[in-house]
Amino acid sequence: MSKSLFSDPGTPGTSGSRSPGGLWRREIWETLCLSAPLAFTQLAMIGINTTDIVMMGWLGPEDLAAGALGMNIYIPLFLFGLGIATVVAPMVAQALGGRDFKGVRRTVRQGFWLTLVFSVIFSLVIWNGRWIMLLFGQEADVALRADAYLKAVTWALLPSLWFVVLRCFVTAHSRPRSALVITLLAVAVNAVGNYGLMFGNFGLPRWELMGAGITSSVVSWLMFAALLGFVLWDRRFKRYAILLRFWRPDWPRFRELFRLGLPIGLTLLAETGLFSGAAFLMGLISTEALAAHAIALQCAAVAFMVPMGISQAAVVRVGLAAGSRDAAAVGRAGWSSLIVGTLFMTGSALVFWFAGRQLVGLFLDLDLPANQGVVQLAVSFLVIAALFQLVDGAQVIGVSALRGLKDTKVPMWLALTGYWGVGFGTSAVLAFPLGLDGMGVWIGLAVGLAFVAVAAVWRFHRRAVLLPNGGLAVA
């Protein structure tokens, strides 16, 4: 393979201004250039879920509550698998930094293998999600409504995770725009499909929540097929021949992916599980609290997609620097991502604080008397969400910067401690013994996120200090 084929203008060590200020400006610019399409891709992906939530709200508060519960079964498991799949990004980035191009193909191929294994396991859980809801004391009618959605959306899991593997592959090459275009088109297709299958338009049957699940599954397969087609067609990517000897086992690389990816998956599961656990707490309070939680959480999730995109850029930038053995560039890459993410989350916090009611109005009719209880609760939850916007962005970017160094085990333990020991514990205590109900749940979420943010950023700070003397290897 020719050297020019793999040249990367954003790789640490390339020519440009060598002054400290010039290096920092270049790093921030490279972070912005890579983060922008990644953030828009994340926004487009959450746009699919947001469309589902909005249209579920059109069906009524009961269907919205049931659909939210169903999503709180599916999404944590999907994100667990996504965490495992995203280990492809730092491994490919470090391989590119070290010019190990054969290792890139091995990583992508085994990424498909690993996500296939987890998809089979998780699909069984999603398919039987109704019994999980009943086990945790949810109302039988709500669980039955959610069951129709879950059985349909189960088929979206595998193609969604394979899409993530390919997205990590193209992102590590600083070429994420193909995934962005495909995801934007998927938002439109999903909206049209929902409008037809959920409400019986275009001569299609009215399948309500099940229609949303079916549309999600079809769209997920189309997204994967489109990105795979692009990778196999594009001149730069097709030379990797990522499907070559696809069924040939590569157990050393499989084990490495599993070893590094499992802690990432558990970290994401701990975070999303915290919000799913909060949804179950809300279900114990009231249906109104659960519906309001779904609205506020969806708003927070949309805002979170931007620092999520920045965090993916941090993985690549830190990984490239680590692969080229440039300790100073590792520090610049991580801190530049934190600066960019903090600036954005400050803006989103202000929007939540001053325009909460308008945001809730996107989901429910503000003038309908039957919706007033849900509206008031959702607005109050967004006030708390505004307060934890900064720490939410800092924690995901800090953890991701560590992943760029293949440091995944300690961040996992930080997440498990912060999200569940601190966050969920605080939510439960404030909500029930202290009688703060839904507000107590959201305050607990903020406390848990703050703990992880401080711990992750401090660990990256210590790692950046030690790198010049201690080397780049992470135990």
When pLDDT is averaged across residues 129-155 and rounded to a whole number, the result is 86
For residue 155, give the DSSP letter: G
Give residues with Cβ within 8 angstroms of 282, minimum separation 6.
289, 290, 292, 293, 438, 441
The pLDDT value recorded for residue 270 is 82
The pLDDT value recorded for residue 149 is 93
**pLDDT tens for each residue of 98-127:** 778 888 899 999 999 999 999 999 999 999
More confident residue, 7 or 305: 305
**pLDDT tens for each residue of 143-172:** 888 899 999 999 999 999 999 999 999 988
Query: 7 pLDDT band (50/70/90 cuts)?
Result: very low
Instruction: Decide if pLDDT at 5 tops 70.
Output: no
For residue 422, give the DSSP letter: I
When pLDDT is averaged across residues 174-184 and rounded to a whole number, the result is 92
Q: How far apart are CA 342 and CA 392, in angstroms?
A: 9
The pLDDT value recorded for residue 376 is 92
The least confident of 5-9, 170-174, 398-402 is: 5-9
DSSP, collapsed to helix, strand or coil, labels residue 435 as coil
Q: pTM for this one?
A: 0.76
The pLDDT value recorded for residue 17 is 54
Identify whether the C-beta of residue 336 lies closer than 8 Å to the C-beta of residue 27.
yes
Closest CA to 441 of 280, 291, 303: 280
- Measure Cα distances from 190 to 209, 225, 270, 316, 453 in Å: 13, 16, 28, 30, 34
The pLDDT value recorded for residue 254 is 94
More confident residue, 323 or 443: 443
When pLDDT is averaged across residues 273-298 and rounded to a whole number, the result is 86
The pLDDT value recorded for residue 290 is 87
When pLDDT is averaged across residues 407-433 and rounded to a whole number, the result is 93
The total of other beta-carbon atoms located within 10 Å of residue 225's CB is 14
Q: How far apart are CA 271 and CA 415, in angstroms?
A: 7
